[in-house]
Chain A
Amino acid sequence: MKLHPMIAALRRHKAGVVLIALQIALTLAIVCNAVFIIGQRIERVNRPTGLVEDNLMLVSQGWVGAPSGDQPGDVEKLDSLLQADLAALRAMPDVESVVPINSLPLLNSSWTGSVALKPGSDLRAGNARSVYYFGDEHLLKTLGLKLVAGRGFTAADVQNRGFRDSGTPAVIIVTKALADKLYPKGDALGKAIYLDGGSSPSTIIGEVERLQAPATGSWVNGFLWNATIEPFRLNANFSRYAIRTRPGRLQAVMHAVPNVLYGVSRMRVLDDDSVKSFAQIRQEAYRSDVGMAVLMGVVCLILLGVTAAGIVGLTSFWVGQRHRQIGVRRALGARKIDILHYFQMENLLISGAGAVIGLGLAIGLNMLLMKRFEMDRLPVLYVLAGIVAVMALGQGAVFAPARRASNVPPVVATRSV
């Protein structure tokens, strides 16, 4: 098939050609970037936290009229409140284990600091920043963390810590990511490190495979997997308990927990947000990511639909306009398939041109997004896939009008309309 007459014919419909090409180009630019955003969000939401998330829940509560923790003797009073709650929770029939803890991954409540190999050395610069988790000897078991080296805490390791104390523990457990950062040779176990520029050493007694930071914002990206677990019972006028229930008993325990705690003491605040399953915590943390992916998905689908509909509309119009010409071509010996191919080829030309412009627009839009919204660079694969997709969309959209054109009988040529 010769392209020359086709291009000559297109010149007579400049506006329509430009509009279809433009629409293809814009669609390509937006769909490529939107699909890329969707992919990134899905990847983010699917990264494992390192916990065994099933049958895990969190209780956050505050004591009313409890000491603030700043006076001497406060920590003892607060610890007796904490111990009473722990005893009651651990005595519940469907509960496997309980740990008092300061935060959980995805909870967006962070204790952060930095670790160093030498005492008193500055911290932020070396970027060995870390998040801190405080818990007792039940922490690994309750959260379901996988120990890859060393041992977990024993009851003898665990100490009390007031809310504003800044003491450092004698022993700590770190994530493998942090251990490898500090000791790239993989011999971190048994080494002493210094927390927050302090002068007393903390010995690494265990490494866990993976444990995510509580925060989900971008500020934590540099040290998302650097976690340090300290053997502390945090004594403040609030407390958090992570609870692992027996399989399938999560709902029952969630339902029963408030009454058990009120049974220990009624002078506490438990509100609607106090008892949460880990699934709820995950859902809240990633709400905007999932929402963004859904929004982008819907926009893409509608956009592709609108573009396809536009192509159908304009091509149908052209077919109507060229009714007689098609008849003449048929009368001069063109087969049905030739007419079909003509319109398909024409569409391929236009959407090809559109795709070339769209390629530029997609990259331009991506650069704009990178500059303004901390996006990553759009991989070429996405753009290539996008080009194939819009070309296929164009072919799909043009098929029905082109079929109709190919069905124009040759006799039309002889009629004077």
Chain B
Amino acid sequence: MFGYYFQLGLRSLRRNPALTALMVMAIGFGVAASMTTYAVFRAVSGNPIPDRSARLFTPQIDAWGPQQNLKGGEPAEALGYVDAMALMRANEAKRQTLLYPVQLSVIPQGNRDLPLNANGYAVTSDFFAMFEVPFRYGSGWSGQDDAARTADVVISDELDQKLFGGADSVGQTLNLGGHDYRIVGVASHWNPRPRFYDLFSTGGFADEPDIYMVFNRALDLQMRTGGRNSCRGSLSFTTWQEYLQSNCVWITPWVELDSSVDVAGYRRFLTNYAAEQQHAGRFNWAPNVRLRDVMQWMDQEQVVPPESRISLAVALGFFVICLVNTIGLLLAKFMRRAGEIGVRRALGATRGEIYAQYLIEAGTVGLTGGLVGLLLTAVGVGGVSVLFRPEIAKLARLDPSLVALTLAVAIVATVMAAFYPAWRAAHVQPAWQLKSS
């Protein structure tokens, strides 16, 4: 029976072409608008590291005090040198890393005669294991290398392509900003979005980093952060040492904690640390610390751009109006055939069968609308670059899951919209209809 009703549905699409076209277009536009904005929203609000996000935490310690910290008494979004180093030395977590962005340039060698930009991060050895950085060749460096402040560097696949034509460059020497570094690893393409590990400087969306270097080495070279630096009060430092001791924040710390017991333990450690600092007179306020995991941190830093939320809300509202419109049009379409329904009922069709027939017919309308919507979504996804920055816009893609979702939403929504018209159709009085015609 399903097949037959489906055929009837297809045939009825042709019966009132204007009315049908109206419905199909309404559903198509509604679905396309919702799906296009959803594609962007999904890309910017997704979990960038699903299997580990609940075990990675970023600690915050208030080194600015209640007069100068952020809205709502929030501590700064990053750490200064003093606190970052204290956390590292305490070594209270299973794994921990410190990081800050660096901007370097590759000095010309061999047949290249112009320098290249090389942006990346100064990180400690646990970075690669904590964030599951995939390697094409070689690996990261060890904790001993951190301590020995070696000039090791991990480069991206892309930089390897540019400099070595994609060959295994482990062991090669690279001159960055006038200093030689030994390549110990080549990372395969790795650019989690949003860039949860550096929301302080990037806001979540940036091109893939080219290099990762030893944190202590970057400090030795007095490399200033290539990202954000935020200070409070009157600035009086002039030398690098004074800068390190200042209240400026520029380092993002991450720790890996496996169980809720560990998390509670680490939180206690942070509070104790802040209390010690208060006791020592460095802070003259009560401990104010935070420990947030990846998703909480992305939420706190409002990674999802406001235009994405507004456009999603507007698109949903738009879709609702299209559905209300569809209810009205389906009602008109079905009730025009009241006579036909009367005849069928009189010939013995049950209400259930009328329901089935009209819901399936609505489903075919939904399917057609979904196909139109799919085309429009493809256009929309191609056009999101007018609304979002290119690095966000290129995240929106029409992949199989989005195609399936578009069709499913169109069909399900239309069938739901058809419940009331189908109910009216099923309650047509056969006698009344037969009499009046």
Contact = CB atoms under 8 A, between A and B. Distances in A.
16 contacts: A23-B324, A23-B325, A29-B317, A64-B178, A164-B238, A196-B234, A197-B234, A266-B114, A291-B387, A294-B386, A303-B321, A306-B322, A313-B329, A317-B332, A320-B336, A369-B310
Interface stretch (A14-22, A92-100, A204-212, A337-345): A14-22
A321 B338 CA distance: 11
Interface in B1-41: 19, 22, 25-26, 29, 33
A26 B317 contact: yes
Given A164-B224, A373-B310, A310 B325 contact: yes
Interface stretch (B82-90, B183-191, B301-309): B301-309
Interface string A159-190: 00001111000000000000000000000000
Residue from the set B105, B223, B314 with the largest chain A CB neighbour count within 10 Å: B314
Contacts of B322: 306
Interface residues on B, range: 35 or more
A64 B105 contact: yes
Interface in A246-266: 262, 266
A299 B321 contact: no
A394 to B, nearest CB: 14
A120 B306 CA distance: 38
A186 to B, nearest CB: 29
A160 B236 CA distance: 17
Interface string B83-123: 00000000000000000000101011000011111000000
A269 B115 contact: yes
Interface in B324-359: 324-325, 327-329, 331-332, 335-336
A291 B177 contact: no
Nearest to B322: A306
Given A163-B224, A266-B113, 19 more contacts: A15-B331, A16-B332, A23-B324, A29-B317, A34-B314, A65-B107, A68-B224, A120-B234, A164-B224, A166-B237, A271-B117, A287-B386, A288-B388, A292-B387, A294-B387, A303-B318, A310-B328, A313-B19, A372-B309
Contact of A267 (B22, B26, B115): B115
B324 A288 contact: no
Contacts, number: 152
B328 A314 contact: yes
B314 A30 contact: yes
Interface of B: 19, 22, 25-26, 29, 33, 68, 103, 105, 107-108, 113-117, 177-178, 222-224, 233-240, 243, 305-307, 309-311, 314-315, 317-318, 320-322, 324-325, 327-329, 331-332, 335-336, 386-389, 420, 424, 437
Contacts of B331: 15-16, 19, 314, 317
A64 B321 contact: no
B310 A64 contact: no
A22 B324 contact: yes
Contacts of B239: 70
Contact of A307 (B33, B107, B325): B325
Contacts of B320: 26
Contacts of A198: 234
A55 to B, nearest CB: 27
A27 B325 CA distance: 11
A397 to B, nearest CB: 12
Given A313-B332, A317-B332, A269 B310 contact: no
Given A65-B177, A303-B321, A317-B336, A287 B389 contact: yes
Contact of A299 (B33, B224, B237, B386): B33
A149 interface: no
10 tightest A-B CB contacts, nearest first: A291-B387, A317-B332, A197-B234, A310-B325, A19-B328, A64-B115, A65-B178, A291-B386, A64-B105, A166-B235
Interface string A11-51: 00001100110110011011000100100000000000000
B234 A19 contact: no
A26 B234 contact: no
Given A267-B115, A269-B117, A292-B311, A23 B387 contact: no
Contacts of B420: 15
B387 A295 contact: yes
Contacts of A266: 108, 113-115
A62 interface: yes
Nearest to B116: A269
Contact of B222 (A65, A68, A262, A268): A68
A317 B310 contact: no
Contacts of B388: 287-288, 291
A333 to B, nearest CB: 25
B321 A288 contact: no
A381 interface: no
A373 B235 CA distance: 34
Nearest to A320: B336
A22 B323 CA distance: 11
Contact of B243 (A37, A164, A303, A369): A164
Nearest to A41: B307
Given A64-B115, A306-B322, A296 B314 contact: yes
Contacts of B318: 30, 299, 302-303
A65 B82 CA distance: 29
Nearest to A296: B314
A312 to B, nearest CB: 8
Contacts of A19: 324-325, 327-328, 331
A56 B90 CA distance: 53
A296 B307 CA distance: 11
Contacts of B329: 310, 313-314
Nearest to A288: B307
A120 to B, nearest CB: 7
A389 B306 CA distance: 29
A186 B255 CA distance: 55
Contacts of B115: 64, 266-269
Contacts of A29: 317
Contacts of B234: 120, 196-198
Contacts of B307: 288, 291-292
B311 A295 contact: yes
A417 interface: yes
Contacts of B387: 287-288, 291-292, 294-295
Nearest to A163: B224
A365 B310 CA distance: 11
B17 to A, nearest CB: 12
Interface in A132-174: 163-166
A70 B235 CA distance: 15
